[in-house]
Structure 1
Amino acid sequence: MEIILKQDVKKLGEKDDIVNVKPGFGRNYLIPTGQAILATESAKKVLAENIKQAQFKQEKIKKDAEATAAKLEGVTLNIGAKAGESGKIFGAVNTIQVADALKKLGFEVDRRRITFESDVKFVGEYVANLNLHKEVKVQVPFNVVAE
């Protein structure tokens, strides 16, 4: 029995894969639980069109991410934080502060896509890793200055 998976199924395949399964497994488990649909000719045509549109959208998202990455080259952020005499910050600089600093410069980056290589707890220079797309990653240097 040939079916189209609507979601990832462990040890069987990923979403939008066309796989062969035993008829009982398909009829009694996969199709009733909404994990798959029967692979008819019309369903295969719809799947091909959906895949084509998804690829077009992914290419557009990737191009936008590459354009943003090109604009971010050479940008250095300054982030102010309250610090003691020894240069230790009260608290730590987090991804929200970096996202806000980028927003002030006109770059809309989700804070969940920003990571640091180490904790930012002292005044100094650091690097933020921005994951704009699964294939587009950028490193943005930033300075933490005492307020």
Structure 2
Amino acid sequence: MKVILTHEVSGLGTAGDVVDVKPGYARNFLYRRGLATAWTKGGQKQVDAIAASKAARAVKSLEEARSIKGNLEAQQVTVTAHAGDSGRLFGAVTSKEIAEAVAAGGGPAIDRRTIEIPTPIKSVGPARAQVRLHPEVQATLTLEVVAG
């Protein structure tokens, strides 16, 4: 089944790409999260418009992404979460909480969908997360999870 990606999807493609996926993945994941639309002939015109605008912004956004990467990697982000006496969290730290902590710490506003947490953060202490700022630029966030 062909779909048009409207946002970047890790391991699949970037906005404007036409990809072939299984119908269940498209229905249950991509469409429900607003990450893709069904491919049609009229949709192809939309793909061409997205590609043209992406080419115009590519160089500017690459330089901007590199400067944001430097700011993010230099910043120590503190995330407050509910934890028990042993330091184990009630639940896990989410990408939304990380995005809010970056903004609260004076960092740039980043979209929660661009944050990737390699392993679930379920305890108090240091942790790391990846932020996809551009297809060519990926920043590593240093997190400090504290009980609150």
- TM interval, shorter chain, is 0.5 to 0.7
Match of 1:90 in 2: 90
Give yes or no for contact 2:116–2:131 (8 Å, CA) kept in 1: yes
Match of 2:63 in 1: 63
Structure 2 portions without partners, runs of 5+: 1-16, 21-39
Match of 1:133 in 2: 134
Question: What is the deviation of 1:59?
Answer: 1.1
The 4+ residue runs of structure 1 with deviation greater than 2 A are: 7-10, 32-37, 53-56
Q: Matches of residues 1-147 of structure 1 in structure 2 within 5 Å?
A: 8=18, 33-34=41-42, 51=52, 54-104=54-104, 105-147=106-148
Match of 2:37 in 1: none
Match of 2:36 in 1: none
Cα pair distance change 1:90/1:8, threshold 3 Å? closer
Aligned amino acid, residue 94 of structure 1: T
Equivalenced residue count is: 108
The sequence identity of aligned pairs, in percent, is: 31
Aligned amino acid, residue 56 of structure 1: A
Q: How far apart in 2 are the matches of 1:59 and 1:106?
A: 22
Structure 1 portions without partners, runs of 5+: 1-6, 11-31, 38-46
Question: What is the deviation of 1:67?
Answer: 1.1
Two-structure CA RMSD over aligned residues (Å): 2.6
Give yes or no for contact 2:116–2:129 (8 Å, CA) kept in 1: yes
Larger Rg: 1
TM-score (structure 2 length as normaliser): 0.63
- SS in structure 1 at match of 2:74: coil
